[in-house]
Amino acid sequence: MSDSIHIGFVCQAGRLEAQSCLLAASIIAQLGSRVRMTAALAGADSDRTGPAGRTLDFLEALGTQIHPVENPISPDYPIGNKLACLRVLENTAEVSLFMDTDMIVTGDFLCRLDSDFEFMAKPADAATASLDHNAWRQLFSSHGVPIPRSRYLSTHTAELGFPYFNAGFIGLSGEKTLADCWILHAKRLAEQRGRHDYHLDQISLTLAVYDQGLVVRPVSELLNFPAHLRPVPENDSTAVVHYHQADRISGSHRVRNLLSRLVNDYPMLGPILADDPEWGWTTSVGQQRKYFGSAFRKGRNAGSNFIITGIPRSGTSLLSSCIDGMGDTIVINEPAEIFGALEHPGGFGLAAYHQQLRGRILSGQAVPNKVDAAGRLVEDTLVSDARSELRYRRESEDFPLGTKNTLAYTARLEQIAETMPSSPILFCIRNPISTIASWTRSFEHLRTAVTGKARIGTSNDPYLAGLERQQLERIEAEDDVEIRRALWWNFLAGRALKNINRITVVRYEDFAADPAACLRSVGTSLGASKKAIDRQVARMKPLTAVDRAQELSDFQLESIRGICATTAARFGYDV
């Protein structure tokens, strides 16, 4: 069998050393002696220092053949080494398989290579080539390549276009060659553009495949999962994870378990990873942890995340402060990174952020959070809104991890529910009279009812339905601030109603009346033990839901009743 599958990857001095060792170890762990491996040793044609001796020793100990290669494109374009690697692999086995070094094999995928094919690759995650239909046609024509009939969807952003591949996992049948043609088109494209740009390899790969007339077998993300864009699935048949940066997988329970086994099975691997700054977090992987106290509860889903959101000034920070520290639960109050995550192409940015955040916490890195002078999560961001760098220590890798945000999360409830389907969403709401009264004494964007940030929670938000964007346009165009506040509360509450089956509603008045019952319900759903919940309940101060109608003008009260009454009644409020 080892003569039928030949896997190759690039190794060179620097960050690819630890990556290549990890990839090789994962290949052997998952595929065993059924494959043979070659490491294309890049930089052998230069005066640069080569990989450390222990790197080569480790690879050779796993049975990897070391083959020096010269970069066929340019020394200042290291991606070109993969083209040289493929040239080494061609015609050496029934299937030649090139893999990017920043990959890790998480399952057996050899059965997927059994069917007949000439060229195998996954369509790109996104249309990163920035070439429209006409530009592609011109490119095919200028390179003398027939224009393909096929059109593929990018696997992450679902953009339709000419075939454009991720060049990180390339399968080639034994009787076919591709590398020399790929090199030719890459050189010609670089000359045309006057540069070696980042996506040169992917664009020229498409040209080479269709110049050679190869029969293409597109494959799914199971063989090339984009872990830099989405969290690694915990329980599916994903067999190859393409992580790009090591910290992207540091919070994956599945990957950490695999790393634990690899470090234990291959003692030389641990020091190689530990000495690389990108992989320093792996020193905590594989250690036997003792679970003590009552915080740990069996049966909780691994790597459980949750979301706290709601209408501003409805108790989201208060609820967060009560949940944070309940057993081994952590809540990050209003992390700044979530805005970029929510706008990341494909919609999975927030889910990926939670996995990366978990990895940072597990590796002992400091994370910013809003805490008071005593180090406890703030109960009211109006009183204290500053962030401090904190380091957390958790005994289990699957501790409950939540993040809190009001407006952005409320605007993207569908996106969150669809991309984080196992993550509970707690939605806080309060009587609109008390809420709006609090707005008038709060941050400027609440006092003036400014609906959101740029493309999140405004009429420009692409994730909101057309009718909702029209509603926001009317709110944004309203000159009377008292009317605008009422319209905005009604809109935000309507978002909750629209997603009522996706959220758990926490009414501020119910929380104030019986905080113990509320915390027991929430804590149990997050996997905290009764003892941990009771300890948190005992720390709470008495709460009172104050009627603030007297703080508002008669016109503001009339506006609330005329605009919000029906929606408020759906949540049990009689205004």
54 pLDDT more than 80: yes
Q: Is the pLDDT of residue 187 over 80?
A: yes
Among the listed ranges 40-49, 261-270, 359-368, which one has the minimum average pLDDT value? 40-49
41 vs 64: CA distance, rounded Å: 11
d(Cα 311, Cα 540) in Å, to the nearest integer?
A: 22
CB atoms under 10 Å from CB of 537, counted, come to 17
Residue 50 binned pLDDT confidence (cut-offs 50, 70, 90): confident
Q: For residue 491, what pLDDT is reported?
A: 98
Give the pLDDT band (50/70/90) at residue 48.
low
Q: What is the CA radius of gyration of the chain?
A: 28
**Bridge partners for 425 per DSSP:** 307
In this prediction, residue 339 carries a pLDDT of 95
Please determine, for residue 524, whether its predicted confidence score (pLDDT) is greater than 70: yes
Reply yes or no on whether the pLDDT at 289 is more than 80: no
Instruction: Give the contacts of 33 (CB within 8 A, at least 6 positions apart).
Output: 1, 2, 63
Q: Report the C-alpha gap between 257 and 342 in whole angstroms.
A: 28
Q: How confident is the model at residue 198 (pLDDT cuts 50, 70, 90)?
A: confident
CA angle 211, 217, 220 (to 5 degrees): 130
Question: DSSP H helical segments within 32-132, as ranges?
Answer: 53-61, 81-89
Q: Report residue 528's pLDDT band, with 50, 70 and 90 as the boundaries.
A: confident
Pick from 560, 279, 532: nearest CA to 437: 560
Q: Indicate whether 302 pLDDT > 70.
A: no
Asked if 293 and 374 touch (Cβ cutoff 8 Å), the reply is no
Report, as an integer, the average pLDDT of 302-311: 86
pLDDT on residue 542: 78
- The pLDDT, as a whole number, for residue 483 is 97
How confident is the model at residue 47, as a pLDDT?
Answer: 61
Report whether pLDDT(29) > 50.
Answer: yes
Domain residue ranges of the chain, discontinuous segments joined by +: 5-242, 305-570
Residue 550 CA to its chain's centroid (Å) = 46
Beta strand 160-161 with 152-153 is antiparallel
Q: What pLDDT was estimated at residue 547?
A: 80
**pLDDT, average across residues 164-186:** 95
Residue 544's pLDDT is 76
Question: What pLDDT is stored for residue 334 in this prediction?
Answer: 95
**Residue 295 reports pLDDT greater than 50:** no
Pairwise pLDDT comparison (335 vs 538), residue with the higher score = 335
State residue 286's pLDDT score.
Answer: 59
Question: How far, in Å, CA of 519 to CA of 525, rounded?
Answer: 10
Q: Is the pLDDT of residue 3 over 80?
A: no
Q: Give the strand pairing for 119-121 and 216-218.
A: parallel
Give me the pLDDT at residue 296, please: 34
User: Above 60 in pLDDT, residue 303?
Assistant: no
Asked whether the predicted pLDDT for residue 464 surpasses 50, the reply is yes
Residue 263 has pLDDT above 70, yes or no: yes
Q: What do you get for the CA distance between the two ends of the chain, in Å?
A: 75
> What percentage of the chain carries pLDDT values higher than 70?
95
> Any idea which of 161-165, 166-170, 306-310, 365-369 has the lowest mean pLDDT?
365-369
Mean pLDDT, residues 317-345: 93
Whole-number pLDDT of residue 376: 85
Distance of CA 480 to the CA centre of its chain: 41
Range 305-570 has CATH code 3.40.50: yes
In which band, very low, low, confident or very high, does the pLDDT at 46 lie, cut at 50, 70 and 90? low
Class of domain 5-242: alpha beta
DSSP for 386-450, written as a single string = --EEE----SSTT--EEEE-SHHHHHTHHHHHHHSTTS-EEEEE--HHHHHHHHTTS-HHHHTT-
Q: What is the pLDDT of residue 45?
A: 58
Residue, of 248 and 539, whose pLDDT is higher:
248
Q: Note the pLDDT of residue 331.
A: 96
Going by C-beta distance under 8 Å and a sequence separation of 6 or more, which residues neighbour residue 529? Answer: 294, 295, 296, 297, 327
pLDDT category at 211 given cuts 50, 70, 90 is very high
The arithmetic mean of pLDDT across residues 479-494, rounded, is 97
When the pLDDT of each residue in the chain is averaged and rounded to a whole number, the result is 91
Give mean pLDDT, residues 349-359. Answer: 95
pLDDT, mean of residues 545-565: 92
Q: pTM for the whole thing?
A: 0.87
- Average the pLDDT over each of 48-57, 182-191, 210-219 and give the range with the smallest value: 48-57
In order of 164, 198, 239, 311, the CA distances from 204 in angstroms are 9, 12, 27, 50
pLDDT value at position 298? 38
CB 490 within 8 Å of CB 563: yes
Residue (of 332, 279, 284, 280) closest to 305 by Cα position? 332
Looking at the predicted structure, is the pLDDT value of residue 433 above 60? Answer: yes
